[in-house]
Amino acid sequence: MINQSDNVLKLNSINRRMFILAAAKVILLGGIVSRLFFLQVKENKKYLTLSDKNRIREWKLPPVRGHFEDYFGNTIAGNFEAYELHLIPEEIENFKYTINRVRNILQLSENQFQKILKKKDQIKPWENLIVSNNLTWENFSKINNNLYDLNGVKPVISVSRNYPFKENYTHVLGYVSQANEQDIISNEIIKEKFVQGLKVGKIGLEKTFENDLIGTNSIERYEVNAYGRRISQLEFQKGDKGKTIKLTIDTEIQKLTNELLAEKAGSICVMDIFTGHVIAMHSSPSFDPNKFVFGINTDDWQLIRNDPMKPLVNKSLSGNYSPGSTIKPIVALSALENKIINANFRVNCKGHKEPLELYGQTYHCWKKEGHGIVDMREAMKQSCDTYFYEVARRLGVDKLSETAKKFGLGKKVFEDLFEIEKSGLVPSTSWKKNVLGINWVLGETIITGIGQGYIQTTPIQLCLMTAQIANGGHKIIPKLIVDSKTDDEDKFSPIVEDAKNMKLVQDAMFSSTNEVRGTSYKSRIDDPKYQFAGKTGTAQVKRITKQDRELDLDTSEIPYEERDHALYIAFGPYKNPRYAVSIVIEHGGSGGAVAAPLAKQLFKKIIDRHEIRKNFESNKYLNI
Amino acid sequence: MYLHNRLESKSNFFQKIKDIDFILLAGILLLGIISISTMYSTDGGQVLFHTKSHFVKFILFTGLMLLISFLNIRFWFSISYIAYFIIILMLIWTVNFGITASGSQRWINLYFINLQPSELMKIFIILCLAKYFHRKRLENVNSFYSIIFSMIIILLPMSLVIIQPDLGTSILISISGILVLWFSGLNHKYFFYSFLISILSLPFIISFLKPYQKLRVLTFLNPDRDPLGAGYQIIQSKIAVGSGGLFGKGFLQGTQSYLEFLPEKHTDFIFTLFSEEFGFLGSVILLLLYAIIIYRVIKIGSISRSYFAKLFCYSFGGSLFVFITINMSMVLGLLPIVGSPLPIMSYGGSSMLATMIGFGIVMSAKIHSKQAIA
């Protein structure tokens, strides 16, 4: 049928084409092999990295926050083991049954229950559903007892913030709470270390030192599959605990200040007059910061927020008060320094019968009967207003403000340590012209001389001022953190020209506390070990009208908001001064009656603690 | 006559066994072992469904292959047209009553097995066209009539498969057919022009593609345009192959497949898993094994006396090569993703059945290489 020659032709053709195709095949095969070579040998590193990126996932754990310690190494903000309860939905056979069991054991409210159910819908089934992050021990053990029929329920022990001294340190340390969006946006380090449930400082030193305290996350590396499920743990990289920050504060004294200010609104500050160490700094009323760690409940929050004594305000740092008569040592010093007066300069105080009159304004002394002829020492002792009206008039506000600023008034004591610290105000003629646009009038100088009018100070400023008076007029740099670096250049450099003037002022303050007719004579301590010198102050919060003067009401008869602030500044022991104190009681009445008695109790404690502090310090160096 | 044949076959039985191409057989068995171990790895190092099923099918179809190889090559010549016709009927059946899976209707339920006739068509179209051109004189190959006839033979199954829809298989069927045309001596210029026309009409064809197919083309051109969606497969496949390196991650150590980053790892992307675990060297060895098998198939073609057997072997060898090349190019990101299994390696009964039938016929050609077909 098919002839032979055709067959030969066909075979020739097919063999020829076979060779053509074989050549093509070799080329294609070479292409595939070179592609394999490119991917597997040349680009191997790149794809290996991509493959690891695929399969390895990191889980950050919350970092362990650094502690705060007081001067003696006691933990004042630490960590405690918080009992948490997690559910892993995919491990639970009957979710409805389990969640209801848990609900019954923990006695969850309907609201909490719904919140948990809502959270469950937002997470993947193998992720942890946090039912509670702070169980009581009782509930925690109840859950543990019932674990046998609670599959997928995991009691977890984690670390959370604890403030063992509760309200004592609130205004110094602040508190931590759950990081919110604002915290994450404003701080890169929080952003980097953020994990669900991370707590960060919201206020106070907790916030200022956030970046030191926060620590580093522990990292768990897991191999995961394409759906993100953990297959096996590859590595656990332990994070570092945050830095421990040591304060200069003595907890014993801090606690005493809290007790002294109980039921009162105000502040007590105690400072070492040589080192600038803040020994105590308390603002009252305070509140328990532990309540904020897991989010404060609405009732407690309303209670704190609506308290008329304003527990949320840090009065030591952001309370602006007229210094009242506590400014008088500075007025006297300034006048002496500027040689306006000498120690023997005398003024006749005639009381309300014949007050100082200037351009139709009258300026009364606080004492109706008057003090008679007084010199500087006597005027300071009895806090004669008329004397200081006259001194201020001669001195002028600008010279006064210069001296006041040298002693630390009018600017922040801790610079940028606290967001909320106020700088107070030391007025001058140029200040008024620039800020208010009005010329200074002499009457304003007169009242500035007794610490009224524009002048504003914070309790910590008054404390610093007193400390610098006590150390003989040397500049100190207040410290709240041990080992914090400060410029040593102008440290302890003199800020008065004549040390004799300083001595005169100190002596005048001594008489005010320790001599008969002194304004704080009743609060004196005769034992030279504890003996201190001070100056009372009573700051008006409203102008005293003629009517008020005639009524002459007792403090308890005046509405709370209109009562005077009671102030007291002091240093001791007088013979060999070491500590300065400032006390402010808001709307407390007279400084001599209300504030000064607290100093008496305070100094006993401070001086007693001094030995311990000194020994602790020398021991510390010995150990090294 | 019948009795004579029987006696002859009986006396020839041992002769036939002796004539089996043992190199090809060994190659196929080795490939089978590799494919079963790879399947074991896809099952996560356990003998699960895919491993068991693949193993059973391989044993079954190897037996079938040997059975086929003992049948005279003339038998295959005689049933070529009928077989082609039966499969066309099966494809029509599929279009109407087939089983649908993942959006395409490709399978016939035969109760004991779900058969994919389009896979069988890859082999039987070669058989059909080989018979046709065996009977043609060389000068008639380029006649108008024979071109039209072969066009119909190719386009009919193609269109039946395209509407399933299964673009990949229909392209592979057409390539099988075109290879026969090439070997049968169809004028070069036809291939050249049709290649030119298809290139020029590519944009036009693309506009007719279904949206998901268009997406595949776009994804091929730039996998990173949707790395978690359409580009996911190819990106993960390249990562798996690339991370394998020179020596691979080791058997059962392929993280990409273990942790389920690789989709379709049992079927079209089986080479990715193999390459991840055995690296560049393993992949080249696998390619070498395929090359040896194809070489043997072609070698058998070259020693066959009959033009039909020659045509079949050459075309079958060529199409095997094309299937392998297309599959590998696809998983290595050189071609857009079209459904094309890797012969023997990929999971899938019909594909393996078709390949084994092909090998069976080739072996039959070897055993009966002296046989002339009138």
Asked if the C-beta of B318 comes within 8 angstroms of chain A's C-beta atoms, the answer is yes
Taking the CA atoms of residue B189, residue B194, residue B199 and residue B203 in that order, the dihedral angle to the nearest 10 degrees is 150
d(CA A356, CA A352): 9
d(CA A24, CA B362): 22
d(CA A140, CA A137): 5
**A235 class by beta-carbon count within 10 Å (0-12 exposed, 13-18 middle, 19+ buried):** exposed
d(CA A72, CA B160): 90
Listed in order, strand segments (DSSP E) in A397-496 are none
SS (H, E, C) A428-443: CHHHHHHHHCCCCCHH
Residue in the block written with tokens 């074991």: B40
Collapsing DSSP to helix, strand or coil, B38 comes out as helix
From residue B310, alpha-carbon distances to A232, A257, A611, B307 in Å are 56, 108, 112, 5
Collapsing DSSP to helix, strand or coil, A473 comes out as coil
Q: What is the DSSP letter of A242?
A: P
Q: Directed axis angle between helix B349-367 and helix B73-97, to 10°?
A: 170
d(CA A499, CA A392): 21
Nearest to B242 among A13, A28, A47 (CB): A47
pTM: 0.70
CATH number for the A251-294+313-623 domain, one of 3.60.140.10, 3.40.50.300, 3.40.710.10, 3.40.50.10470? 3.40.710.10
CB within 8 Å: B241 and A36: yes
d(CA B45, CA A202): 53
Do the Cβ atoms of B365 and B65 come closer than 8 Å?
Answer: no
Return the residue of B nearest to A231 by Cα: B259
CB within 8 Å: B242 and A48: yes
Collapsing DSSP to helix, strand or coil, A255 comes out as helix
Residue in the block written with tokens 């942790």: B259
> SS3 breakdown of chain B: % helix, strand, coil, rounded to 5?
75, 5, 25
Asked if the C-beta of A23 comes within 8 angstroms of chain B's C-beta atoms, the answer is no
Closest approach of B42 to chain A, Cα-based (Å): 14
pLDDT per position as a tens digit, B184-236: 888 888 889 988 898 888 888 777 777 777 777 777 777 776 676 667 888 88
Asked if the C-beta of B219 comes within 8 angstroms of chain A's C-beta atoms, the answer is no
Residue A226 with chain B: CB contacts under 8 Å? 259-261
Low-confidence ranges of chain B (pLDDT < 50): 1
Which structure tokens are listed for A110? 């309907």
Which structure tokens are listed for A124? 């993947």
Closest approach of A20 to chain B, Cα-based (Å): 10
Residue in the block written with tokens 């290489």: B369
Q: What is the DSSP string of B54-99?
A: HHHHHHHHHHHHHHHHHS-HHHHHHHHHHHHHHHHHHHHHHHHHPE
Closest approach of A32 to chain B, Cα-based (Å): 7
Q: Cis ω on the peptide bond leading into residue B336 (within 30° of 0)?
A: no
Collapsing DSSP to helix, strand or coil, B325 comes out as helix
Return the residue of A nearest to B320 by Cα: A25
Asked if the C-beta of A622 comes within 8 angstroms of chain B's C-beta atoms, the answer is no
Asked if the C-beta of B137 comes within 8 angstroms of chain A's C-beta atoms, the answer is yes
Beta strand A68-69 with A245-246: parallel, antiparallel or unpaired?
parallel
pLDDT for res B220: 74
Task: Residue count of chain A, please give it.
Answer: 624
d(CA B148, CA B155): 10
Residue A224 with chain B: CB contacts under 8 Å? 259
Asked if the C-beta of A29 comes within 8 angstroms of chain B's C-beta atoms, the answer is yes
Return the residue of A nearest to B279 by Cα: A40
Residue B261 with chain A: CB contacts under 8 Å? 54-55, 225-226
Q: Tell which of A40, A45, A223 to mutate to test the B interface (max B CBs under 10 Å).
A: A40
Closest approach of B132 to chain A, Cα-based (Å): 13
Q: For A248, how many CA atoms within 13 A lie in the half-sphere containing its CB?
A: 21
Asked if the C-beta of B327 comes within 8 angstroms of chain A's C-beta atoms, the answer is no
Residue B275 with chain A: CB contacts under 8 Å? 36, 40
CB within 8 Å: A11 and B310: yes
| Window 184-223 of A, Cβ < 8 Å to B | 223
Asked if the C-beta of B374 comes within 8 angstroms of chain A's C-beta atoms, the answer is yes
Return the residue of A nearest to B185 by Cα: A13
pLDDT for res B218: 75
Residue A130 bridge partners (DSSP): A86
Q: Tell which of A10, A224, A225, A229 to mutate to test the B interface (max B CBs under 10 Å).
A: A10
Q: Directed axis angle between helix A44-55 and helix B232-244, to 10°?
A: 120
Asked if the C-beta of B242 comes within 8 angstroms of chain A's C-beta atoms, the answer is yes
Asked if the C-beta of A12 comes within 8 angstroms of chain B's C-beta atoms, the answer is no
Region for residue B357 given its phi and psi (left: phi exceeds 0; alpha: psi -120 to 50; beta: otherwise): alpha
Return the residue of A nearest to B313 by Cα: A18
- Domain residue spans in chain A? 59-246, 251-294+313-623
**Could you tell me where the DSSP H helices lie in B143-185?**
144-162, 167-183
**Could you tell me where the DSSP H helices lie in A558-595?**
none
pLDDT for res A282: 95
Which structure tokens are listed for A47? 């794809």
CB atoms within 10 A of CB A23: 10
CB within 8 Å: B332 and A1: no
Q: What are phi and psi of B352, to 5 degrees?
A: -65, -40
Q: Directed axis angle between helix B73-97 and helix B307-331, to 10°?
A: 40
Low-confidence ranges of chain A (pLDDT < 50): 1-2, 624
CB within 8 Å: B236 and A54: yes
CATH superfamily of A59-246: Penicillin-binding protein 2a (Domain 2) (3.90.1310.10)
Do the Cβ atoms of B147 and B186 come closer than 8 Å?
Answer: yes
Q: Which helix (H) or strand (E) is A208 found in, with range?
A: helix A204-208
pLDDT for res B6: 54
Listed in order, strand segments (DSSP E) in A218-368 are 219-224, 230-237, 245-246, 266-272, 278-284, 347-349, 356-358, 361-363
Do the Cβ atoms of B45 and B338 come closer than 8 Å?
Answer: no
Which structure tokens are listed for A263? 């039921």
pLDDT per position as a tens digit, B101-147: 777 788 888 877 788 999 999 999 999 999 999 988 888 888 889 89
